[in-house]
């Protein structure tokens, strides 16, 4: 309670400095927010494409219905597999003529259906990596009545590397922005600590422990950080709305991301404050 | 109580701020620490308060030794050694009462006990009626009394006063000095740094430790331990 009271009093005593700190944190976290919004939307787009990754096992014409039913059951029990749909020769022809309308006449004139029956195997979201897709394709190919298993290897590889690049870029830029934000906050909080250097020295003189001296500053850093986080959230939301209305439809950040962003801003404020006070305590320390 | 043994402190310059100083301030003793400006009086007080660490030699305050004390023990020592500055060093945004309470809060004393104790301390220094005043509303003498009440809050074994009357007029100085005598009479040792020769002359019964250019040149107790 004392720490909170002191922190609030510190904020009231130096409103301009506090406002500067909030803006420093707000703008830094806002840049992270914008990046997170972009990264999230790239992720959503990639997940959409990735969701279409499937292994198609083309079946020989002599495969019996019983064999297919057993195989389908077995394939669906693979941990990597979400579902396996049987597409009969008739359905394949129907779908082909529906999807490729320019060849519909050719399909209708056929005397023998040349399209094979198949099993369309969808993979679990966690198992859409190139290795898993290839492994499932290999296992499925092992069935005698499977003529061939295809999965668009190039696409899977490309999507997977795109995702890795996006993830890596997100991590690098996120760390860079966070470091910049921490430096800015550090400067702002250090100014606040220096403004109260005399007070800290008096506290030491009367026998205050480091923890007692540090606590109000940590709370002040937390409050300032959270305020900066809310500012960043507001700015990110404003940008999202602006883009949404004028340019392109976007997905808003998931709730855990915004909560993590706020917590991050608060913790950043607290850590920066802690570092600034520690430096000041060392400066005033016995020498 | 307070013992300095061959203490030298240098800050990296060509000459030491204090050099080879030894003296012993006993329990309940009152002493003036005198000398011209720059003689090393404040350095000696800061060495005793362990704001400075000796370059060589040892400072002992009760069970605390400068050569063995750990960082986490410093708050404990400083609660047992009251320190009074020439410029009072009160927190401007706190009332007299809150300035004194503050020294008790840092020790973790329960709030219920702090109130009555602060009232008692302010009465002891004659400021009970000005408890709600802010430092800017108090005279220099009154501010110094608040500082004394704050220094006494944790019942220190020894009170260090650095030119406590330096900023006060004659009447206020006499009042503050009288307060120190009263505190000393109750058993607290007092070491008061001053270059007020008149004050020292008026109190011939008080021990005088004199410094000159960082060296101890005179001790009326005749001992240099």
B106–A202 CB contact, under 8 Å: no
Choose the mutation target among B74, B111, B150 for the interface with A, i.e. most A CBs under 10 Å: B74
- DSSP string computed for A116-152: PPEEEEEEPGGG-SHHHHHHHHHHHHTSTTEEEEE--
E strands in B17-98: 18-25, 30-34, 56-61, 64-65, 81-84
- For chain B, what is the domain count? 1
Q: What is the pLDDT of residues B131-143, one digit of tens each?
A: 999 999 999 989 9
Q: Which part of chain A is CATH 3.30.70.3040?
A: 54-150
Q: What is the ipTM of this complex?
A: 0.84
> In the CATH scheme, what is the code of domain A54-150?
3.30.70.3040
User: Splitting chain B (225 residues) into consecutive groups of 10 residues, what average pLDDT does each group show?
Assistant: 94 85 94 93 95 94 92 91 91 92 89 93 91 94 92 92 86 87 92 91 93 93 63
Nearest Cα to Cα of residue A84 among A135, A140, A134, A132: A140
Any domain includes B224: no
Whether A286 and B103 lie within 8 Å, measured CB to CB: no
In a domain, residue B166? The reply is yes
CB contact under 8 A, A209 and B106: yes
CATH number of the domain residue B180 falls in: 3.40.50.300
Contact A73, A84 (CB under 8 A): no
Domain span at residue B214 reads 2-219
Q: What is the mean pLDDT of each run of 10 residues along chain A (287 residues)?
A: 71 75 82 81 76 83 86 89 88 78 66 83 83 87 86 71 76 76 72 80 89 87 90 92 86 90 88 84 72
Q: Is B225 part of a structural domain of the chain?
A: no
Query: Hey, is the C-beta of B147 within 8 angstroms of any chain A C-beta?
Result: no
- Which of A13, A202, A287 faces B89 most closely, judged by CB atoms? A202
Q: Summarize pLDDT for A196-223 with one digit per residue, the tens.
A: 788 888 888 899 888 888 888 888 888 8
Distance set, CA A114 to CA A109, A146, A263 (Å): 12, 16, 60
């Amino acid at each position: 309670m004392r720490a909170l009271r002191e922190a609030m009093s510190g904020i009231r005593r130096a409103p301009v400095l506090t406002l500067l700190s909030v803006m420093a944190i707000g703008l830094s976290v806002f840049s992270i927010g914008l990046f997170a919004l972009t990264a999230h939307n790239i992720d959503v787009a990639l997940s959409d494409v990735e969701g279409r990754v499937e292994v198609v096992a083309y079946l020989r014409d002599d495969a019996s219905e019983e064999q297919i039913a057993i195989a389908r059951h077995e394939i669906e029990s693979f941990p990597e597999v979400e579902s396996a749909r049987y597409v009969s020769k008739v359905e394949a022809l129907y779908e082909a003529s529906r999807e490729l309308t320019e060849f519909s006449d050719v399909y209708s004139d056929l005397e023998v259906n040349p399209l094979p029956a198949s099993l369309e195997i969808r993979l679990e979201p966690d198992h859409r990596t190139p290795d898993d897709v290839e492994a499932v394709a290999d296992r499925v190919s092992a069935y005698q009545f499977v003529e061939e298993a295809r999965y668009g290897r190039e696409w899977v590889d490309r999507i997977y590397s795109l995702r890795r690049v996006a993830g890596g870029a997100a991590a690098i830029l996120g760390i860079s922005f966070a470091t910049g934000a921490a430096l800015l906050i550090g400067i702002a909080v250090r100014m606040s600590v220096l403004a109260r250097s005399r007070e800290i020295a008096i506290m030491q003189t009367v026998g205050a422990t480091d923890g007692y001296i540090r606590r109000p500053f940590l709370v002040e850093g937390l409050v300032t950080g959270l305020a900066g986080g809310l500012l960043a959230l507001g700015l990110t939301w404003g940008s999202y709305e602006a883009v949404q209305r004028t340019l392109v439809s976007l997905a808003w950040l998931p709730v855990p991301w915004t909560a993590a962003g706020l917590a991050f801003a608060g913790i950043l404020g607290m850590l920066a404050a802690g570092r600034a006070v520690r430096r000041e305590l060392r400066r005033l320390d016995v020498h | 109580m307070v013992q300095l043994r061959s203490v030298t402190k240098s800050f990296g310059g060509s000459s030491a701020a204090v050099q080879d100083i030894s003296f012993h301030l006993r329990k309940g003793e009152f002493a003036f620490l005198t000398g011209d400006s720059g003689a090393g009086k404040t350095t000696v007080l800061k060495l005793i308060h362990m704001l400075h660490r000796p370059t060589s030699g040892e400072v002992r305050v009760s069970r605390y030794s400068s050569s063995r004390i750990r960082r986490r023990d410093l708050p404990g020592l400083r609660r047992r050694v009251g320190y009074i500055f020439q410029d009072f060093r009160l927190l401007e945004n706190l009332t007299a009462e809150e300035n004194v309470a503050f020294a008790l809060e840092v020790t973790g004393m329960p709030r219920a006990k702090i109130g009555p104790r602060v009232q008692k301390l302010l009465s002891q220094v004659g400021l009970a009626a000005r408890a709600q005043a802010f430092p800017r509303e108090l005279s220099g003498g009154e501010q110094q009394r608040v500082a004394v009440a704050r220094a006494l809050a944790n019942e220190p074994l020894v009170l260090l006063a650095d030119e406590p009357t330096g900023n006060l007029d004659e009447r206020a100085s006499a009042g503050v000095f009288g307060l120190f005598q009263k505190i000393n009479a109750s058993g607290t040792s007092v070491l008061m740094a001053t270059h007020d020769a008149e004050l020292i002359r008026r109190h011939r019964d008080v021990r005088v430790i004199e410094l000159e250019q960082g060296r101890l040149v005179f001790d009326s107790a005749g001992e240099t331990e």
